[in-house]
Structure 1
Amino acid sequence: TGNRGSADPRHRQRLRLLPGSAGATAGVDPLSGDSYVRVRWRRDDALTRAYCFRARGDDGTTRDDLSGFWGNLVEIRQGEVVHASYHPPGTTLPGVRTYSRGADGSARLELADDEPLLYQQLDLPAGLIESDVAPMSTLSAMVSSGGVDEPWHEVISLVHSKGQDPDYAVETDERGRSDVIFGDGTNGRALADDAIVHLRLQTGYGPDGNLGADRLTSFDAAANPSLTALRNPFDITDGEAPKDPAEALREIPEAFRARQLRAVTLCDYAKAAMEVDGVAKAAARYTWAGSFRCVHLAVDPVGTDALTPTLRAAVEEALAPRRLLGEELRILGPRWVPLAIAVRVCARPEVWAADLRAVIEEELSAGVTSDGRLGFFHPDSWTFGQALRASELFGRIHAIPGVDQVVALTIRRHDAPTPGAVEEDGEVTLAADEIILVEGDPDQRERGYIDIDVQGGRG
């Protein structure tokens, strides 16, 4: 209206411009010659009320400063900024933080208990809810290795990360403690042996950042010398406390809380079988029995290669109530694939050839070594569809003290219809219900064997 009494400073709205050049274009009015900037904002930010920029007042004068259009607003987040560096395991310098290594090559570092990690506010597109968007923390990571600094990226899980992806995941438990997990070289890149991880994160408690409009007036000028003034034109209300664990459990879909009591897919049959004590792995496939569909379920027992009648009955009892009507269930043992392997190694000059041969036989056996480790072909080390790569055998043999080099290695199926062999860069591939078998029993070579030829050495 142009009258001061009708002004309402609370009528404010944030507008997010379209990205890039689509958000703003400059021009010149051909009539007045005045310069102007035309702005375009997101459809989600459509104006909720009419704003008047020019009006004639009661005194007859025209005012053009009734509403303001402010640009270049900067979004800031509440929280104390923390910088921390984590060094490789074994670093003994006082006050230095270290990360830990897993047996699979993955790495994990723990944030301090007094550093509750803050998470970013979710920017939800139209039509989406919170569960549709992955949460993202305020943590960023820089990894230094070999004199090179490289930024790594946060993902919700490393399951979908490839072996060379510089990804990490953040896990925060119900007590507010956070861990940062790096990959193992298969799911996400593994940290190098000399890697130092530099973190920047914001810590605090979400609701502490909630503030009414125009309440933020002071700041640390020494830490921000480029700032002359600071204000918050909008209410800050999106600071949230971590969700209570009991509330989160109540909101989980019932299907994820309940134990599924039906087998619809082949994966369902296999999962149900693995719930039975004594079953290490299971694999299922469909066959056609002429007038109905049949599910062939192959069961890999724990610690043995024989499916006992007792275990078969237990699996049948567990799956009978779950199978679909019209499907027949047949429970079988795995299809064993015996291998014929020939290896020729060169022993070091100071090693007795006969002793080295005995050590190699033990390392590649289907039993347990003298120091309690599983032999290379122990039944619990192999499961359905698991391929054998020649490089795996090379690595196990080369790790044996006294082996100078592996001269030759051939691998083939003992029952193959043609005498094929796998060379150094090859592998033995298996069907979904097949498992490798190498018992090494000279009286039962049809159950897989290894011929070892040791050259060089003493005696």
Structure 2
Amino acid sequence: ADALPFPLCINARIDGALIKISVARGNIVLTDHGLSFPAQNVYPNAASKTGPYRPFLEHRGITVATPYNQDDAIERPATELLVQDPHRAVPVISLLENNELWQASRDLLASNRFAAEFVAEIETGLRVQLRFGDNVLGKKPAEGFAPKANYRVGNGAVGNIGADALGRIVWDTAGIRKARNPIAARGGKNAETIEEVRQYAPEAFRTQERAVTEADYVAKTELHPQVQKALANFRWTGSWHTVFLTIDRKNGLKLDDKFKADIYAHLEKYRMAGYDLEIRPPLFVPLEIELNVCVLPGYFRNNVQEKLMEQFSRFNLPDGTRGFFHPDEFTFGQPVYLSAIYERAMQVDGVESVEVKTFKRQDRMANSEKENGLLEPAESEIIRLDNDPNFPENGKITFLMFGGL
């Protein structure tokens, strides 16, 4: 027996007499809102050889409720049985075919190949379609499988009737004269609207954990701490697709074998099955620049030249800034503007004026870059100017100094 949720006065003394003032009524049973349909046909009524068997029910609006277990219920307070957990709710339906009982499940992900289970999917318009397993996740119906469905319809807050709202018994059962509900019904909930689904959906779906498009591969690659920028291109390579990934590594470091192995491991959990991955270094565009520099009176030309070489280097500078041609200052397709070169040169102490004599790709003839005021690489190319006498093919800058001391 359950403990009462409130104090109950059994009797009271009135005018000196002890009077019983409370009444206990038995024969209380748990009921739910709905209408049962036993042994119903499904459509199509039998499985065929071709395609998966996906029958639907004749009636719409199937009841969805927390599964009821009698053995568990008798061990719990009766009031707890009125509390429904929507996260455990499943459609109230079972199938019977050749004395084999098939039970509804929320999904088939935990069902083995012998599990006689199915999923009742509620479509737009409340039509119910049944989905069976494939002999891997859940048992697959054999050809000729023709089940009979037992299910209930009726859902929502409309079933939450008030106390003593029941009016009559609609079936003829011997021994039952009257039925009443002494307390109000509860637990019925309407289906969530699309807007409510959007509001209450878990945030997990917002986290993209796969790479499908070229943009996805770029985004996932750039999550690696050593990657400044990446480009991805899909190509058909004969028998499968290959993702060609071009990476601009931070600080201009090479794409050595260890780094490539790190990238492969980083992308493995995102990569689509059936897609190979090829990592390539970027295409660099070495520059050739020549500047005429007029030095202010009172400044030594050599000192000013050293400062210019430092400002237009590829290194981190003592004041925490970067040299103009630091590898992380340029990435794929990023142009270099002539005005930026003028601005940086004029910031050096002792420089009176600057004139650009040469401004072009090192490996090509000039193509009006100086006249246009910019040098623009292709989408997959990166500007480079190391000014290293040991590797002149990586770009060079020359300062012709005039004036000063």
Say which structure, 1 or 2, has more relative contact order (CA 8 Å, 6+ apart). Answer: 2
Whose radius of gyration is greater, 1 or 2? 2
